Chains A and B, each alone.
Chain A
């Protein structure tokens, strides 16, 4: 009898959860309990890191400082150029009567060192809806795209990595703009590129960047580098893979990005475009 009630209750919950978002408040409430568990499990690791950083010697700190300073110098000079390029890009796009996505806001979040489900590449970070995080936000680190926010809870959020077997990200080859989709492989250092024609112009070492299609990821962020693949004749399609740029298992800090949702029109829009009619 009790079993029957339990089964009916769980199936009802399952169906409501699959069909709608109505159970989100319940999940948010219960997550306060489970999030404290997540933080408890993370505590030894973060404590260890804190202590080891406290104990690092003056010498290493000094070395780190000089190297960071040099890096910043290089970055600054590159940014100078970037500014000019951005302005030029905006001007050119204005000529094409194109819209341009401006400024993205970021929030630094820290990974909690816990494992949820082994065969899914989902990570948990310490920022949640309290900080305005919402699902489908892109997540980056200093090297490239990490993944996207999968579910946001009050005190933590789950991030699906681009290497998850159920994740796909629209990319383009930086060299020639060839568009394709990078699908997660389930391995933390590999992405698959299954949707390429066998005469596609793609070479080992090509940089893949986000194409901005699909609307989740802003365009232009590095995703991965195409791996070596054997040269074949045109009859067979080689299995092409890429290595993600982001250091998914080594970095503890990630950036959650707020893209500006509205496109900024640079020229006065025409009265009605076909795209407007469709909406």
Chain B
């Protein structure tokens, strides 16, 4: 595959993922908005692990930190850990049927959300409600569709 061509596609999909991350939704839908950037990043790390690595994940995480007004390094930390797991197991994961992949995605998202919860509590204990955990489920449910969409984008 042409390298710069695929780099551009990675860039554009991540751009749209970041837009989706902050897109305005109604009060009922907003808590369901999953971590699009992480999902897209997971896809690319599974599809072309040779060109998407931990360094990319880390820099992207820093950007998302600024975008969402988090403390520096939160998303960078989480993204690099999750992408590391994806890179280690990408051969097995690519063989999995989509349902099993979704289970893996569920674990990734759960892990990232747990870390977020932990980061929130490091500085001062904060209140969270049940809706804090909703993006994990919406992300898992959306994964098959994201997977199909991204695959068709990759094969364009």
In the complex, which residue of chain A has the Cβ closest to the Cβ of B122?
A18
B24 to A116, Cβ gap below 8 A? Answer: no
CB contact under 8 A between A14 and B129, given known A2-B55, A40-B19 = no
Binds A, one of B1-9, B60-68, B144-152: B60-68
A166 to B127, Cβ gap below 8 A? Answer: yes
**Of B32, B63, B74, B80, which one neighbours A6 at CB under 8 angstroms?**
B80
A3 and B77 CA atoms in complex are apart in Å by 9
A17 to B72, Cβ gap below 8 A? Answer: yes
In the complex, which residue of chain A has the Cβ closest to the Cβ of B85?
A3
Interface size classification for chain B: 35 or more
B65 CB → nearest A CB, Å = 8
CB contact under 8 A between A150 and B80, given known A10-B61, A41-B22, A115-B33 = no
CB contacts (< 8 Å) of B127 on chain A: these are 165-166, 186
B81 interfacial contact with A, CB 8 Å? yes
CB contact under 8 A between A114 and B22, given known A27-B66, A30-B63, A150-B69 = yes
**Of A2, A45, A186, which one neighbours B54 at CB under 8 angstroms?**
A2
Within 8 A of A (CB), among B21-65: 22-25, 27, 30-33, 53-55, 57-58, 61-63
A31 and B65 CA atoms in complex are apart in Å by 10
A13 and B131 CA atoms in complex are apart in Å by 28
In the complex, which residue of chain B has the Cβ closest to the Cβ of A165?
B127
B73 to A11, Cβ gap below 8 A? Answer: yes
A9 interfacial contact with B, CB 8 Å? yes
B15 CB → nearest A CB, Å = 8
A17 to B63, Cβ gap below 8 A? Answer: no
A9 to B63, Cβ gap below 8 A? Answer: no
B76 CB → nearest A CB, Å = 4
CB contacts (< 8 Å) of A33 on chain B: these are 63, 66
A16 interfacial contact with B, CB 8 Å? yes
A38 interfacial contact with B, CB 8 Å? yes
CB contacts (< 8 Å) of B33 on chain A: these are 115, 118
A-B contact pairs, 5 of them (CB 8 A): A7-B77, A10-B80, A115-B22, A118-B30, A119-B128
- B residues with a Cβ closer than 8 A to A are 15, 18-19, 22-25, 27, 30-33, 53-55, 57-58, 61-63, 66-69, 71-74, 76-77, 80-81, 84, 119, 122-123, 126-129, 131-132, 134-135
Besides A114-B24, A116-B69, A117-B69, 17 other A-B contacts (C-beta < 8 A): A6-B54, A13-B73, A13-B76, A17-B72, A18-B122, A18-B123, A30-B62, A30-B66, A34-B18, A40-B19, A41-B23, A115-B24, A118-B31, A118-B134, A122-B69, A150-B69, A188-B27
